[in-house]
A and B are shown apart, each in its own frame.
Chain A
Amino acid sequence: MRDFSYLRAGNIEAARNAAALPGAMLLAGGTTLIDLAKCGVAEPATVIDISHIEGLNAIDVTADRAVIGALAKMSHVADNTEVKSLFPAVSEALWQAASAQLRNMATIGGNLMQRTRCPYFRDPQNFPACNKRAPASGCSAIGGVTRGHAVLGVSEACIATYPGDLAVALVAFDAEVDLGERKLKVEDFFLAPGATAEREHDIRPGEVIMTIEIPGSAAARRSTYVKVRDRQSYEFAAASAAVGLELESDGRTIRDIRVALGGVATKPWRVRAVEDALKGKALDEDTVRKASALAVEGAVDHGANHYKIALAPRVIARAILKLGETA
């Protein structure tokens, strides 16, 4: 790990000023930044420690909305009683992520900013070609081992999977990220690679994530996060789905449904085609499976990740049917 200078920001203004310096990077929980610095991927000139700033870790939940401070820890949000009852998919996405130790360190702001786990991205010594790390250098994954790579939202420049769990639940429920001067939909905060794989987030130098806000809804209250992976715990998703469901008073017609996918796309992936196909329909297995198949229309595989195209609709269907059973 290359050395850097260290600055502890006492307040948000200091953090913003310092974050605008060339080569400066914010440090919250450090579970992405220090990891990537050790891999030689992140080479900050200055590390600005924001973890001591007071007041940015509040978790404020009402039936109307949840407002979560950028420095709130993943573990604290996952265990929050109101989050569990009013936004269960958010709690489930968090406690199924990483490990208990990492969740005690990692913050919600840092979580949104985590980078891909593409093994080529993480190994600059052996794989210099990576458009995400070094624009226009090429992509080592295309033509390489692609078992974990994305099938949705890919480009010729990059096929790296967005690895996180929380943001999948956030895009399902129309959450917003507050950057102080501006607010945007979490869905728009994440950028698909296109021709600019190096840009993953709509965030500018000097901007700091302040809070995320999740609007409350009946679908958010009846929601779940299903995560399928190579081992049962402490692993990134092979495919995951955040789903929320609201039924009409007849108990079987779908009034509102939210569906988002993780582990298979280059960004947290809302699938409105599935939602539209199900709204107004009766909830039965056949209808659900047919609609879920729409999630992977246009998917592109690179060999070893072909299985994700079959897996993703099944994970969605499992999540919807599971919610249907919990009347």
Chain B
Amino acid sequence: MNDQVTISPTTLSIHLTINGRNHALDIEPRVTLLDALRERLHLTGTKKGCDQGQCGACTVHVDGERVLACLTLAAQVEGREITTIEGLADADGTLNAVQAAFLEQDAFQCGYCTPGQIMSAVACIREGHAGSDEEIREYMAGNLCRCGAYPNIVAAVRQAAQELRS
């Protein structure tokens, strides 16, 4: 784009790369990544809790970093690599170490916050912020769990971090 100012039409045609697949979409500029995923692409694993950046249920990865899909415009992440909970397991169905640890540690009750917790935990471990329970609690603070499964969530993150380190 050059220095000129061009105003987009009310519908944008964009391409999103999600879990390695390219998707073409016509959307209004105001559509968030969360709504695009859930309502348009039917990738409903990413949850809508607060829709205001306060709960972490909508956590996805953009270029490998955890972000909130509810405060991200879909148009803004064109050209970026987006990963959702649906893209975490291997193609043959083998679970990611964090997914397996959540099952083993029983780290959920209703499960609503779980996809966001898992996406957040994968990134938390990758960032090197899962060194102690205290650090896990601090760096997972952006994911709320109304069922209060926190002790088991910390245990699952600890277990997965240990497995991935060894």
| A residues at B contact (CB < 8 Å) | 1-11, 13-14, 17-18, 21, 27, 30-31, 34-35, 37-38, 46-47, 49, 51-52, 75, 79, 98-102, 104-105, 232-234
Knowing A100-B129, A100-B142, A101-B66, say if A30 contacts B73 (CB, 8 Å): yes
User: Top 7 nearest A-B pairs by Cβ distance?
Assistant: A99-B142, A6-B29, A10-B1, A233-B141, A234-B141, A104-B65, A13-B3
Closest to B142 in A: A99
A7 contact set on B, CB distance < 8 A:
5-8
B52 contact set on A, CB distance < 8 A:
35, 38
Q: Chain B contact residues (Cβ within 8 angstroms of A): what range?
A: 35 or more
State A232–B142 Cα separation when bound (angstroms): 12
Assess the B72–A101 pair: CB atoms within 8 A: no
Closest to B61 in A: A104
State A79–B67 Cα separation when bound (angstroms): 17
Assess the B7–A1 pair: CB atoms within 8 A: no
B76 contact set on A, CB distance < 8 A:
27, 30, 49, 51
State A196–B4 Cα separation when bound (angstroms): 34
Assess the A30–B7 pair: CB atoms within 8 A: no
A8 contact set on B, CB distance < 8 A:
1, 75
Q: Is B139 an interface residue (CB 8 A)?
A: yes
Assess the B7–A100 pair: CB atoms within 8 A: no
State A76–B105 Cα separation when bound (angstroms): 31
Assess the A6–B3 pair: CB atoms within 8 A: no
State A9–B3 Cα separation when bound (angstroms): 8
State A223–B8 Cα separation when bound (angstroms): 47
Q: How far is the CB of A22 from chain B (nearest CB, A)?
A: 12
Contact with A along B115-134 (1 / 0, CB 8 A): 00000100110010100000
Assess the A99–B3 pair: CB atoms within 8 A: no
A79 contact set on B, CB distance < 8 A:
127
Q: How far is the CB of B157 from chain A (nearest CB, A)?
A: 12
Assess the A14–B4 pair: CB atoms within 8 A: yes
- Contact among B30, B68, B75 for A102, CB-based, below 8 A: B68
Knowing A6-B29, A102-B53, say if A17 contacts B120 (CB, 8 Å): no
State A7–B29 Cα separation when bound (angstroms): 9
A105 contact set on B, CB distance < 8 A:
67-68, 71-72
State A233–B75 Cα separation when bound (angstroms): 31
Q: How far is the CB of A95 from chain B (nearest CB, A)?
A: 8
Assess the A101–B2 pair: CB atoms within 8 A: no
6 A-B pairs whose Cβ atoms sit less than 8 Å apart in the complex? A5-B29, A8-B75, A21-B5, A34-B32, A102-B71, A105-B71
Q: How far is the CB of A15 from chain B (nearest CB, A)?
A: 10
- Contact among B28, B120, B137 for A233, CB-based, below 8 A: B137
B51 contact set on A, CB distance < 8 A:
38
Closest to B78 in A: A8
Q: Is B147 an interface residue (CB 8 A)?
A: no
Which of A9, A38, A49, A101 has the most B CB atoms < 10 Å from its CB? A101
A46 contact set on B, CB distance < 8 A:
7
Closest to A235 in B: B141
State A21–B120 Cα separation when bound (angstroms): 38
Q: How far is the CB of A116 from chain B (nearest CB, A)?
A: 16
Knowing A9-B1, A234-B142, say if A30 contacts B29 (CB, 8 Å): no
Knowing A14-B1, A14-B5, say if A100 contacts B71 (CB, 8 Å): no
Assess the A4–B2 pair: CB atoms within 8 A: no
A38 contact set on B, CB distance < 8 A:
51-52
Can you add 14 more A-B contacts, CB < 8 Å, to A5-B7, A11-B1, A17-B4? A4-B30, A6-B75, A14-B1, A27-B76, A30-B76, A49-B73, A98-B142, A99-B141, A100-B129, A100-B142, A101-B56, A104-B65, A104-B67, A105-B71
Closest to A105 in B: B67
State A179–B109 Cα separation when bound (angstroms): 50
Which of A4, A6, A14, A49 has the most B CB atoms < 10 Å from its CB? A6
List B20-38 residues whose CB lies under 8 Å from chain A: 28-30, 32
Q: How far is the CB of B30 from chain A (nearest CB, A)?
A: 5
Assess the A3–B29 pair: CB atoms within 8 A: yes
Assess the B123–A30 pair: CB atoms within 8 A: no
- Contact among A5, A30, A51 for B71, CB-based, below 8 A: A30
Assess the A3–B10 pair: CB atoms within 8 A: yes
Q: Is B138 an interface residue (CB 8 A)?
A: yes
State A13–B1 Cα separation when bound (angstroms): 11
Closest to A48 in B: B5
State A105–B79 Cα separation when bound (angstroms): 16
B75 contact set on A, CB distance < 8 A:
6, 8, 49
- Contact among B72, B73, B137, B142 for A6, CB-based, below 8 A: B73
